[in-house]
Amino acid sequence: MLEVTIDGRPIHAEKDECILSAAKREGIVIPTLCHHKALAGLGSCRLCIVEVDEGSGPKVVASCVYPIKRAAIILTTSEKITRLRRGILSMLRDRAPQDPYLQRLCAEYSVPHSTRYVLPPKLKCVLCGRCVAACAALGNGAIATVGRGTAKKVSTPYDTDSSDCIGCGACAQVCPVDAIACIETKDTRTIWNKTFRLIPCERCGVPWVTKEALDVVREKTLPGTHGHVGFCPDCRKKEVLFTTRRL
Ligand code: FES
């Protein structure tokens, strides 16, 4: 264990634990956007920046990816961090002006309205990379960041209906600003220019998952443990409760 101070509070941290996780454990709130607990740190949005002094002077790092390796003095809300975070928030809000989380943070940090960038109207994606990371983590790699400058975006190759996309919707679920269009009808899901048929839950009969996504889950689940793979999340929960009560 290592001892660091965060905002003057002495804190014990595991070696190589990232600053964000140590701070969170102590109830110290650092704003984040691209960070997701189920994914490896991305360090792309920079909202979680903090000042770290490990003995050679303070430097600014992204707390979600910076590992604690030695004793250090960490500040999450220094004057410099607040000023930098304000600038980052201003740029993020320019891309997703309707997002309530960014609106709240901008109000909290008194971010003035900016007119620096002329961005396409209705732009929503903040290019944090969460969706790309989630898709890659599931082994699909159907989407990537393409283009440059204001034309930069996340898409399938050439905006086509990629054969790698299984319509699982994980990308839309992890998007922090709800920028990915995932349109569902009673038994179809349309995402990334591709329409999938939803197949019914084996217990309640309500369509809930694409065949392609279910096939991947079945393939990755250990033989003999297929159990409730075909059940929708609600039915899976109910079945687990039912089984536990009988034990
Ligand atoms: S939350 Fe750390 S860089 Fe985005």
Q: Give the chain's domains with CATH numbers.
A: 2-108 (3.10.20.740), 130-246 (no CATH)
Q: What angle do CA 5, 130, 32 make, to 5 degrees?
A: 30
State which of 24, 34, 126 you would mutate to test the pocket of ligand 1, scoring each by most atoms of that ligand within 8 A of its C-beta.
34
CB 172 within 8 A of CB 130: no
Please determine, for residue 2, whether its predicted confidence score (pLDDT) is greater than 80: yes
CA distance 237 to 185: 24
Atom of ligand 1 nearest to the CA of 44: 3
For residue range 48-71, what is the model confidence (pLDDT) as tens digits? 999 999 999 999 999 999 999 999
Question: Closest Cα partner for 123 from 95, 151, 90?
Answer: 95
| Burial class of residue 53 in the structure, from the number of CB atoms within 10 Å of its CB (0-12 exposed, 13-18 middle, 19+ buried) | middle
For residue range 150-174, what is the model confidence (pLDDT) as tens digits? 889 999 999 999 999 999 999 999 9
Question: What is the percent of the chain where pLDDT is above 70?
Answer: 92
For residue range 177-195, what is the model confidence (pLDDT) as tens digits? 999 999 999 999 999 999 9
Atom of ligand 1 nearest to the CA of 46: 3
Q: Using only the alpha carbons of the chain, give its radius of gyration.
A: 21
Per-residue pLDDT, 239: 82
For residue 124, which amino acid is it? K
Atom of ligand 1 nearest to the CA of 32: 1
CA distance 91 to 44: 13
> What residue owns the CA closest to ligand 1's atom 3?
43
Phi, psi of 216 (to 5 degrees): -65, -45
Instruction: Please state whether beta strands 2-6 and 9-13 pair in parallel, antiparallel, or not at all (unpaired).
Output: antiparallel
3-state SS class at 159: helix
For residue range 216-234, what is the model confidence (pLDDT) as tens digits? 988 887 666 556 889 999 9
